[in-house]
């Protein structure tokens, strides 16, 4: 089996997230070095503040301020930070219960090594120098030697450090409160189209269009995807189709697509290559756009270095009769 | 509330199961090329053709594939012509099986084809799974799936529920059992290795790989026609927990326990349990939540520590448990599937064979 | 073994807009869910399970967002299912939820579908730069426009039909407070003068991009008996799929759509849909799909659907009103669009559609489709329970 094709696929987008009132208050608060929680009806204080009670599903809106200090409830040492994580040198992931809170927040703890981290240790927020109203306004946590230091808080199942110690009510109102965040996300993949499409693409580099025939229904699939979709069987027999074909239907594109450098108007058409069981897509050139018609006979026009035909142009044959291609519409 | 008392619920069984050999990479195959042999295998076991199947349901993830609508191309392997009654969940295939089970319960169909597939090899699955997390407070920090499992493992150790040697024993037992499973990716002795994210070592973590699985369900007499010893689904239920790790007790799995209770798992002893515990520490949580004693054979297939094709690994647990019943190696088995960070969502099925 | 009849007792939608910048994703879905619960006069504790649907996760950049949404939808401690069947997903999601009731697995189920398109850009999500593949040569409409041309060729429909549909749906939307587009100064001339984007599709004949959510509470007979307002009853429901691209595929009138409708009609005892069905909410993302689906769904002979549109039959006061709510042409939160069709059909059957209510709407069809015209889901709802 010849080597399959592979290429990087980067999926990247800066998502624009509106955050709603509770999250806006919390994230804006971080910008102002204020840590907010939210109170539930039964008196728990949740930090970070969530919009809906995880137990009762009630909408939560009563904000309180808590101190920027807390206790580690569990941790994990990350000796190899990955892209996007809060610190670039080894750090501990921690869940931190802020003083006055009943729930914990996930973040990073800057510590010299795993031997310096333990459940129950006291930590405080290290604020980012530049803050914009995002969870990353907390640069990380750091060990806290101040009040309560040296004396680990007890952390156990079902025990609450919060309750009565919870902080003062907070209006949640700030000047220039943020209404949203921009969350860039990039994931890197290595894409491989698999066996059948690799064969198809390799043939294209010789300017040949090669499909695959279904062993059962005998239809020729172009491009082949490895299976006959109606029979659910693997295809293997290779069949060259075209190069000429028939325009089965089309539209005239009058708006420029962002990612395409094609002057409008142009014709985007479905083209049934001779011998193919279904139409593929291409642009029609070499003819005024308003003279393209269903049934037009065309041939591919290749340009150097391109994987696919640049466009198809009339080949001079008389138009195909509707009856000959109506099944391919 | 759940209608446990509903009269004469239709009997539904797993009658066939097939899976790929799970491997680190399968880049010579597209998803449909990887999936199709499994579909042919499972249909072949029953002698059914696509046109005979009453309902088809699949589970997969666009994010794993890096492409929107990736499941539409997998459908090519089914041969959906003439058109079929079909659905898809963006979840592990165990939940596709659940949807198919409800469809069969309504009486609208007598047989169902359920499949799932996942290719983890094209992307960095630890990073991909960060996109499952709270998009405002957590995802921007990119905490990877191993880190989250490590937080859970440390909580277990702090609570005295486990320690590193105990976790190593879980990992070793899983890979030793997998040596009898030709489909498994990690088989036989595997070194515990260095910390990946402390306290979890490479041996505590699942292999990253690609794979697919398929199951055929059938109702009542149809099941008996298609399988010598059907694996009857005596109960199946699933439950979800709060999303935030900081609001949950990571040492427990109340959702797994509740699902098991609703599935009837505690109404009688099981001899076998296939647990979807991608990390050794999660087996500790699940054994406790599901009240599995030492007399229960846990993960004879090797479990997710031996092969973890994401989106299919849960369905494979049900398939493996059913296959043991088919083979007469189990009479009453529990199968479990999970989804989300640190066992956020759990499904439990109880399978039984007819008395021998 | 008979199925439990399924009733719709609660319906909620957000006001659909281009960008809901005041809420999180959780806040958006919560709003629709809370309205559905309020309509049913139920609380979160009354809900046994949640079934949620949406289109590709890339649209919001959250993988399996139901995990994060469990808290907002009161699903903690309950079963939660996530459906994804491309554009038909809103309808499929409702049908999966309905099956839970029909199978007597649960008594009362919340089902919801959403899309928050403003978090990203749908065209980005739909055209990720997959290596080796020929780049998409036209925008979203470029996929549909050639099929519209094929329909025009087959049917001989005059090229004004598309504008009639758009003009009708946008006027209907003015009567629907939740619709996204409220074009108060719409005229047929304006539709016909709008730019030709993907000839034969004009700008005014295309759907908008919306943020929105839609939710329904489905329940059994016992739940319906307790409902404070009239329920709608599910009389039939089905899904059908065919492959994305195949030799012999009919993009104009896909077989899966015909089969899906036939299954629904069989369940509901519909002999002649044109006579027996009173109104339709169908998934029409580009105006020409109205006549195409009228034929595919059996309301007109092949090639004749446009005549119903042209003669006013599908107007709000016509003999077979179509898209009384304004349809997808006026509101398109992609993953929710199918469920909005199903919910609007149920609103009509309940007689609670307000200004866009059709008089004597006893049996109403909700229709959704997606992918390469390959996934179909439909339900028929009525004012009275099945077999009564």
The separation between the first and the last C-alpha atoms of chain A, rounded to the nearest angstrom, is 35
Residue of C nearest to B98 (CA): C81
Q: Identify which of C61, C173, C59, C35 has the alpha carbon closest to the alpha carbon of residue C115.
A: C59
CA distance A27 to chain B (A): 9
pLDDT tens per residue, range B49-77: 999 999 999 999 999 988 888 899 999 99
Residues 62-81 of B with CB under 8 A from A: 63, 66, 73, 75-81
Q: Hey, what are B10's tokens?
A: 């239709």
Residue of C nearest to B6 (CA): C104
User: pLDDT averaged over chain A?
Assistant: 92
Task: Tell me whether C30 touches chain A (CB under 8 Å).
Answer: yes
CA distance B212 to chain A (A): 15
Distance CA(A138)–CA(B58), nearest Å, equals 41
CA distance C33 to chain B (A): 18
Q: Which of C60, C63, C242 sits opposite B61 (nearest CB)?
A: C63
Grouping H, G, I as helix, E, B as strand and the rest as coil, residue C267 is helix
CA distance C76 to chain B (A): 5
The topology (CATH level 3) of B12-123+209-226 is Peroxisomal Thiolase; Chain A, domain 1 (3.40.47)
Q: Hey, what are A203's tokens?
A: 């043939």
| Mutation choice for C interface testing from A7, A10, A17 by most C CBs within 10 A | A17
Distance CA(A278)–CA(C209), nearest Å, equals 31
Distance CA(B17)–CA(B291), nearest Å, equals 27
CA distance A162 to chain B (A): 13
| Mutation choice for A interface testing from C247, C248, C254, C375 by most A CBs within 10 A | C247
User: pLDDT averaged over chain C?
Assistant: 96
Grouping H, G, I as helix, E, B as strand and the rest as coil, residue C375 is strand
CA distance C307 to chain A (A): 22
Domain ranges of chain B: 12-123+209-226
pLDDT tens per residue, range C229-269: 999 999 999 999 999 999 999 999 999 999 999 999 999 99
Distance CA(B131)–CA(B93), nearest Å, equals 20
Determine the average pLDDT of the residues in B71-96: 96
Task: Tell me whether C250 touches chain B (CB under 8 Å).
Answer: no
- C260: enclosing H helix or E strand: helix C255-268
CB contact under 8 A, B243 and C67: yes
Q: Identify which of B349, B181, B202, B333 has the alpha carbon closest to the alpha carbon of residue B269.
A: B333
Distance CA(C111)–CA(C95), nearest Å, equals 9
The separation between the first and the last C-alpha atoms of chain B, rounded to the nearest angstrom, is 35
* Distances C320 to B4, B255, C316, C337, C361 between C-alpha atoms, Å: 43, 48, 8, 21, 10
Domain ranges of chain C: 7-121+208-226
Residue of B nearest to C63 (CA): B132
| Reported CATH class of domain A17-182 | mainly beta
CA distance A190 to chain B (A): 5
- Statement: residue C364 has pLDDT above 60: yes
Task: Tell me whether A229 touches chain C (CB under 8 Å).
Answer: yes
SS3 letters for B290-307? CCCCCCCEECCCCHHHCC
Q: Hey, what are B42's tokens?
A: 């499972």
Distance CA(A228)–CA(A216), nearest Å, equals 9
Residues 50-69 of A with CB under 8 A from C: 50-57, 59
pLDDT tens per residue, range A104-154: 999 999 999 999 999 999 999 999 999 999 999 999 999 998 765 445 555
User: Which chain C residues are closer than 8 Å to B30 by Cβ?
Assistant: none
**CATH placement of domain C7-121+208-226:** 3.40.47.10
Express as a percent the part of chain B with pLDDT over 70.
98
Q: Which of A15, A277, A322 sits opposite C119 (nearest CB)?
A: A15
CB contact under 8 A, B340 and C67: yes
pTM, two decimals, is 0.97
A vs B: CB pairs below 8 A: 200
CB contact under 8 A, C124 and A13: yes
pLDDT band at A261 (very low <50, low <70, confident <90, very high): confident
How far does Cα A53 stand from its chain's mean position? Answer: 28
Give burial (CB, 10 Å; 0-12/13-18/19+) of C15.
middle
DSSP C265: H
Q: Which residues pair with C380 in a beta bridge?
A: C236, C365
Grouping H, G, I as helix, E, B as strand and the rest as coil, residue C12 is strand
Task: Tell me whether C123 touches chain B (CB under 8 Å).
Answer: no
A vs C: CB pairs below 8 A: 176
SS3 letters for chain A? CCCCCCEEEEEEEEEEEECHHHHHHHHHHHHCCCEEEEECCCCCEECCCCCECCCCCCECCEEEEECCEEEEEEEEEECCCCCCCCCCCCEEEEEEEECCCCCEEEEEECCCCHHHCCCCCEEEEEECCCCCCCHHHEEEEEECCCCCCCCCCCCCCCCCCCHHHCCCEECCCCCCCCCEEEEEEEEEEEECCHHHHHHHHHHHCCCCEEEEECCCCCCEECCCCCEECCCCEECCEEEEECCCEEEEEEEEECCCCCCCCCCCCEEEEEEEECCCCCCEEEEECCCCHHHCCCCCEEEEECCCCCCCCCEEEECCCCCCCHHHHHHHC
DSSP C132: T
pLDDT band at A268 (very low <50, low <70, confident <90, very high): very high
| Mutation choice for A interface testing from C146, C200, C242 by most A CBs within 10 A | C146
Give burial (CB, 10 Å; 0-12/13-18/19+) of B356.
exposed
Determine the average pLDDT of the residues in B321-329: 98
pLDDT of residue B327: 98
| Mutation choice for A interface testing from B115, B129, B140 by most A CBs within 10 A | B140
User: Which chain A residues are closer than 8 Å to B36 by Cβ?
Assistant: 226-227, 232-234
Q: Identify which of A295, A236, A241, A288 has the alpha carbon closest to the alpha carbon of residue A266.
A: A288
Q: Hey, what are C114's tokens?
A: 């959403």
Task: Tell me whether C106 touches chain B (CB under 8 Å).
Answer: yes
CB contact under 8 A, A229 and B79: yes
- C89: enclosing H helix or E strand: helix C89-102
- Statement: residue A158 has pLDDT above 60: no
pLDDT tens per residue, range B250-288: 999 999 999 999 999 999 999 999 999 999 999 999 999
pLDDT of residue A163: 42
Q: Hey, what are C362's tokens?
A: 């006893």
CA distance A145 to chain C (A): 35
- Statement: residue A157 has pLDDT above 50: no
Task: Decide: B188 and B181 in contact? Cβ < 8 Å.
Answer: no
- Antiparallel, parallel or unpaired: β A180-191 and A122-127: unpaired
Determine the average pLDDT of the residues in C172-196: 97
CB atoms closer than 10 angstroms to residue A165: 13
Which sign, positive or negative, has the C-alpha torsion C81, C87, C91, C92?
Answer: negative
- Statement: residue B2 has pLDDT above 50: no
Q: Is A67 left (phi over 0), alpha (psi -120 to 50) or beta?
A: beta
Task: Tell me whether A12 touches chain C (CB under 8 Å).
Answer: no
pLDDT of residue A162: 43
Task: Tell me whether C121 touches chain B (CB under 8 Å).
Answer: no
CB contact under 8 A, B73 and A225: yes
Does domain A242-329 match CATH 1.10.20? no
pLDDT of residue B65: 87
Peptide bond into B199 cis (omega under 30): yes
User: Which chain C residues are closer than 8 Å to B255 by Cβ?
Assistant: 77
- Rounded to the nearest 5 degrees, what angle is found at the Cα of B276, between the Cα atoms of A192 and B192? 80
- Antiparallel, parallel or unpaired: β C363-370 and C375-382: antiparallel
Task: Tell me whether C141 touches chain A (CB under 8 Å).
Answer: yes
Neighbours of A (≥3 Cβ pairs closer than 8 A)?
B, C
Determine the average pLDDT of the residues in B320-339: 98
Express as a percent the part of chain A with pLDDT over 70.
93
- Statement: residue B328 has pLDDT above 70: yes
- Antiparallel, parallel or unpaired: β C49-53 and C80-83: parallel
CA distance B303 to chain C (A): 23
Determine the average pLDDT of the residues in C44-55: 97
DSSP C5: P
Which sign, positive or negative, has the C-alpha torsion A274, A275, A277, A280?
Answer: negative
Neighbours of B (≥3 Cβ pairs closer than 8 A)?
A, C
pLDDT of residue B1: 41
Q: Which of A220, A251, A307 sits opposite C138 (nearest CB)?
A: A251
User: Which chain C residues are closer than 8 Å to A55 by Cβ?
Assistant: 76
pLDDT tens per residue, range B278-324: 999 999 999 999 999 999 999 999 999 999 999 999 999 999 999 99
Helix axis angle for B280-289 and B145-158, nearest 10°, is 50
Residues 6+ apart with CB under 8 A from C329: C165, C166, C169, C170, C173, C181, C205, C206, C207, C284, C285, C286, C287, C323
Task: Decide: A275 and A265 in contact? Cβ < 8 Å.
Answer: no
pLDDT tens per residue, range C274-311: 999 999 999 999 999 999 999 999 999 999 999 999 99
- Antiparallel, parallel or unpaired: β C279-281 and C363-370: parallel
User: Which chain A residues are closer than 8 Å to B244 by Cβ?
Assistant: 48, 50, 54, 103
- Antiparallel, parallel or unpaired: β A233-234 and A45-46: unpaired
- Statement: residue A55 has pLDDT above 50: yes
Which sign, positive or negative, has the C-alpha torsion C342, C345, C351, C354?
Answer: positive
| Mutation choice for B interface testing from A232, A233, A235, A277 by most B CBs within 10 A | A232
CB atoms closer than 10 angstroms to residue C131: 17
Task: Decide: C351 and C360 in contact? Cβ < 8 Å.
Answer: no
CA distance C66 to chain B (A): 9
Residues 172-201 of C with CB under 8 A from A: 195-201
Q: Which of C19, C25, C200 sits opposite A251 (nearest CB)?
A: C200
Radius of gyration of chain C (CA): 19
Kindly report the length of chain C: 388
Distance CA(C204)–CA(C208), nearest Å, equals 10
pLDDT tens per residue, range A164-181: 445 799 999 999 999 999
CB contact under 8 A, B131 and C63: yes
Distance CA(A252)–CA(A269), nearest Å, equals 9
Grouping H, G, I as helix, E, B as strand and the rest as coil, residue C38 is helix
Which residue pairs, CB below 8 angstroms and at least 24 apart, start in A312-315? A312/A245, A312/A247, A312/A269, A312/A271, A312/A282, A312/A283, A312/A284, A312/A285, A313/A284, A313/A285, A313/A286, A313/A287, A314/A286, A314/A287, A315/A244
């Amino acid at each position: 089996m010849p080597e399959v094709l592979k290429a990087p696929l980067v999926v990247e987008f800066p998502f624009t997230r509106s955050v709603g009132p509770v999250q806006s208050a919390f994230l804006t608060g971080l910008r102002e070095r204020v840590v907010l929680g939210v109170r539930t009806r039964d008196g728990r204080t949740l930090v970070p503040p969530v919009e809906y009670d995880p137990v009762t599903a009630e909408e939560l809106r009563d904000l309180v301020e808590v101190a920027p200090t807390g206790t580690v409830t569990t941790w994990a040492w990350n000796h190899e930070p990955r892209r996007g994580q809060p610190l670039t040198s080894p750090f501990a992931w921690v869940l931190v219960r802020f003083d006055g809170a009943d729930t914990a927040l996930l973040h990073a703890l800057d510590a010299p090594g795993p031997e310096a981290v333990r459940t129950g240790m006291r930590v405080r927020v290290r604020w980012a120098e530049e803050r914009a109203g995002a969870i990353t306004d907390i640069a990380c946590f750091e060990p806290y030697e101040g009040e309560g230091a040296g004396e680990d808080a007890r952390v156990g199942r079902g025990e609450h450090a919060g309750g009565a110690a919870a902080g003062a009510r907070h209006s949640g109102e700030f000047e220039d409160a943020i209404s949203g965040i921009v969350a860039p996300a990039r994931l890197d993949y290595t894409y491989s189209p698999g066996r059948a499409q690799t064969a198809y693409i390799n043939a294209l580099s010789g300017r040949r269009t090669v499909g695959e025939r279904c062993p059962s229904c005998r239809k020729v699939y172009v491009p082949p995807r490895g299976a006959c979709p109606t029979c659910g069987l693997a295809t293997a027999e290779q069949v060259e189709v075209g190069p000429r074909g028939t325009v089965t239907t089309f539209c005239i594109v009058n708006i420029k697509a962002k990612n395409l450098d094609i002057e409008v108007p142009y014709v985007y058409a479905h083209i049934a290559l001779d011998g193919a069981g279904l139409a593929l897509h291409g642009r029609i050139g070499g003819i005024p756009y308003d003279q393209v018609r269903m049934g037009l006979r065309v041939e591919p026009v290749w340009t150097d270095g391109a994987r696919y035909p640049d466009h198809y142009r009339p080949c001079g044959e008389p138009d195909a009769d509707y009856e000959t291609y109506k099944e391919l519409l | 509330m759940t209608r446990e008392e509903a009269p004469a619920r239709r009997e539904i069984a797993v009658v066939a199961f097939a899976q790929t050999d799970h491997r680190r990479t399968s880049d010579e195959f597209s998803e449909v090329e990887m999936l199709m042999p499994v579909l042919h295998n499972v249909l072949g076991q029953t002698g059914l053709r696509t046109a005979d199947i009453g309902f088809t349901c699949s589970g997969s993830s666009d994010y794993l594939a890096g492409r929107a609508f990736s499941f539409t191309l997998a459908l090519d392997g089914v041969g959906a012509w003439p058109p079929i009654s079909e659905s898809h969940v963006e979840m592990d295939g165990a939940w596709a099986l659940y949807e198919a089970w409800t469809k069969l319960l309504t009486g609208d169909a007598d047989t169902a084809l359920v499949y799932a597939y996942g290719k983890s090899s094209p992307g960095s699955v630890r990073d991909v799974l960060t996109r499952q997390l709270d998009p405002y407070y957590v995802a921007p920090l990119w905490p990877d799936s191993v880190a989250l499992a490590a937080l859970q493992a440390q909580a277990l150790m702090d609570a005295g529920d486990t320690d590193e040697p105990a976790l190593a024993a879980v990992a070793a037992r899983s890979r030793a059992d997998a040596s009898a499973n030709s489909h498994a990716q990690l088989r036989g002795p595997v070194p515990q290795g260095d910390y990946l994210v402390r306290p979890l070592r490479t041996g505590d973590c699942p292999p990253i790989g690609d794979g697919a699985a398929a199951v055929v369900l059938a109702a009542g007499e149809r099941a008996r026609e298609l399988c010598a010893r059907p694996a009857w689904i005596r109960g199946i239920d699933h439950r979800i927990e709060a999303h935030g790790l900081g609001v949950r007790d990571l040492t427990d799995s109340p959702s797994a326990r509740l699902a098991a209770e609703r599935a009837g798992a505690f109404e009688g002893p099981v001899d076998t349990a296939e647990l979807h515990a991608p990390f050794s520490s999660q087996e500790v949580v699940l054994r406790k939540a599901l009240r599995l004693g030492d007399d229960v054979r846990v993960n004879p297939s090797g479990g997710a520590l031996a092969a973890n094709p994401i989106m299919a690994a849960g369905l494979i647990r049900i398939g493996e448990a059913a296959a043991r019943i088919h083979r007469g190696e189990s009479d009453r088995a529990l199968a479990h599937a999970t989804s989300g960070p640190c066992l956020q969502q759990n499904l439990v099925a109880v399978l039984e064979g007819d008395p021998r | 073994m008979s199925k439990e009849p399924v009733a719709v007792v609660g319906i909620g939608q957000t006001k659909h807009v281009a960008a809901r910048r005041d809420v999180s994703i959780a806040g958006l879905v919560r709003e629709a869910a809370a309205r559905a619960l309020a309509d049913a006069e139920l609380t979160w504790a009354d809900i046994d399970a949640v079934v949620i649907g949406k289109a590709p996760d890339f649209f919001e950049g959250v993988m399996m967002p139901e995990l994060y949404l469990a808290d907002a939808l009161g699903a903690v401690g309950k079963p939660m299912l996530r459906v994804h069947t491309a554009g038909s997903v809103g309808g499929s999601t409702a049908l999966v939820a309905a099956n839970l009731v029909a199978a007597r697995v649960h008594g009362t189920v919340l089902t919801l579908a959403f899309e928050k398109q403003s978090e990203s850009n749908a065209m980005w999500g739909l055209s990720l730069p997959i290596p080796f593949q020929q780049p998409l040569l036209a925008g979203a409409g470029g996929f549909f426009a050639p099929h519209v041309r094929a329909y025009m060729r087959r049917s001989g429909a005059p090229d004004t039909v598309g504008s009639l549909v758009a003009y009708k749906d946008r006027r209907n939307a003015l009567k629907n407070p939740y619709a996204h587009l409220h074009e108060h100064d719409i005229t047929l001339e304006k539709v016909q003068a709008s730019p030709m984007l993907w000839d034969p599709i004009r700008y005014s004949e295309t759907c908008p991009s919306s943020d929105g959510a839609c939710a329904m509470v489905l329940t059994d007979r016992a739940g319906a008996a307790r409902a404070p307002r009239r329920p709608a009853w599910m009389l039939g429901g089905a899904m059908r799929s065919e492959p994305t691209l195949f030799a012999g595929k009919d993009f104009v009138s896909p077989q899966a759509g015909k089969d899906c409708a036939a299954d629904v009609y069989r369940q509901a005892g519909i002999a002649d849909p044109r006579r027996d069905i009173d109104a339709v909410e169908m998934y029409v993302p580009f105006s020409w799909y109205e006549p195409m689906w009228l034929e595919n769904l059996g309301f007109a002979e092949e090639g004749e659907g446009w005549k119903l549109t042209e003669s006013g039959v599908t107007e709000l006061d016509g003999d077979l009103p179509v898209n009384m709510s304004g349809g997808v042409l006026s509101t398109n939160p992609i993953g929710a669009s199918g469920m909005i069709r199903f919910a609007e059909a149920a609103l009509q059957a309940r007689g609670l559609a307000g200004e866009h209510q059709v008089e004597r709407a006893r049996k109403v069809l909700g229709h959704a489709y997606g992918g390469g015209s390959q996934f179909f889901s439909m339900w028929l709802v009525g004012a009275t329970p099945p077999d009564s």
